[in-house]
Chain A
Amino acid sequence: MNKEPTLEDLLKDKDNAFELLYKNYKGDFIAFGRKFSLKDNEIVDIYQDSFLSLYENLLNGKITAFTSSIKTYLFSIGKFKIYEHLRAHSKLNIIDAPINEEITLEDLTLENEVLSEREQLVKANFKKLGKQCQRILELFYLKGNTLKDIKEIENYDKTDVVKSLKSRCLKKLKHLVNA
């Protein structure tokens, strides 16, 4: 790939950043997965999972900057998941070595999420909120924006407007969840 997208581009999925990355590295990843005697459909599943984990860690703020190429991140996460897959199918008992010492996966969330009942309820009801509420809450929780940043991004007059909007939206959500 000539040029990888920036972290900001990925968060906004600008110019289909994920799609391009996905297509560009898929062949290499399949070749990589075959070394572990995995079937192609298993490798593709793991490849997709690796993208989701990368995205999750961008969204939850655990990756705030890339210390290496995105490809290295993807393959490091992918390798972790391949080993996990092999362990789950009891094909492997050895400890794997990292692809790149500069990337520590320890702090990242890589296990597949299982939402609690309550979280599922919040998720379902979040989708029922109006677009403006969804947008404000997304900006607030996902991208590490301060209330002041959101004021500027969304062109509000005052930070207090954003503050009360956020609190109103949360109340609405809570009301839906407890309904």
Chain B
Amino acid sequence: MHSMKNEELIALYFDGKLNANQKTLFDKLMSTDAEFRAQIEFEKQTKTAIISIKKDDLKRKLQQLEAPKKRFNYYAIVIAASLIIALGIFSLLQPTERFSNEQLFAEYFQPYANVIVPASRGDEHTNTKTEAFAYYDAHNYKVASEKFHTLFNTTNTSYYLFYEAICELQLGNTQIAINLFEQHKGFEDKLATHRNWYLALAYLKSDNIKDAKVLLQTITAKKSYKYKAADAILKKIK
């Protein structure tokens, strides 16, 4: 591996503190020593990755500042409910069959089953994990989401992200759900194909037809989870 001297040089480089001589040496190594160059490249990627993680954290935080209003705005719910009723009456008067993205979402979305901690297991031992899934099974998605969030932060286990996203989708916080699914992409666990299906539905709900189509096409092409339903949706949004 590298000599201590090279390591110090790299450390100074990342600090932006190379003096003229060190800079000359650094440049020389970069152009002549492939191993040195690869090391710098890897450390740069690491720096980029860390910045990206920190930004994701802040992004979630800021989005959560926006989220509560959407969840608890009573008047908005009343207005939305009246609109739904009005639209319902309106749609009865419409002779042609047309699907809105929202309708398609409602038709196809179903929270994914709890495959992690089945409730039937007669295990009295309750920890945060079983608790989170118990809330999930009981359709208390708000509390479940918070628990999954904490669990992911403490264990870095990717399926918690997936379930947190499903909760947010269920709660109507589509954008938050999309971001969580996007984050889940970094893990490629066994739920990857399931995630694609739910992410496609989330895109659909947020009227992002372009991304929804791309994902649905991937699902049908690979015949992965829910490919028949994906095909049916594709025909309807054409």
Contacts and interface: CB of A to CB of B under 8 A. Distances in A.
Interface of A: 13, 18-19, 22-23, 44, 48, 51-52, 55-56, 59-61, 113, 115-116, 118-120, 122-124, 126-128, 137-138, 140-142, 144, 146-147, 163, 167, 170, 173-174
Contacts of A167: 1, 7
B50 A138 contact: yes
Contacts of B45: 116, 118-119, 122
Contact of A22 (B52, B65, B156): B65
Contacts of A119: 45, 48-49, 52
B59 interface: yes
A101 to B, nearest CB: 25
Given A48-B63, A51-B58, A52-B59, A141 B50 contact: yes
A116 B46 CA distance: 12
Contacts of A137: 46, 50
A23 B65 CA distance: 9
Interface residues of B, number: 33
A113 to B, nearest CB: 6
Give the interface SS of chain B, mostly helix, strand, loop or mixed: helix
A19 B61 contact: yes
A61 B52 contact: no
Interface string B91-103: 0000000000000
A126 B185 CA distance: 14
Contacts of A118: 45
A18 B61 contact: yes
Contacts of B53: 123, 126-127
Contacts of B58: 13, 18, 51-52, 55
Given A22-B65, A163-B7, A174-B42, A55 B47 contact: no
Nearest to B55: A52
B68 interface: no
B108 interface: no
B51 interface: yes
29 contacts: A18-B62, A19-B61, A23-B65, A48-B63, A52-B55, A52-B59, A55-B54, A55-B55, A56-B51, A59-B51, A60-B47, A113-B48, A113-B55, A115-B48, A116-B45, A119-B48, A122-B42, A122-B49, A124-B187, A127-B53, A137-B50, A138-B54, A141-B43, A144-B16, A147-B11, A163-B7, A167-B7, A170-B42, A174-B42
B66 to A, nearest CB: 6
Given A127-B53, A128-B156, A48 B62 contact: yes
A61 B123 CA distance: 51
Given A19-B61, A138-B54, A163-B4, 5 more contacts: A18-B62, A59-B55, A61-B16, A123-B53, A128-B156
A61 B52 CA distance: 14
Contacts of A48: 59, 62-63, 66
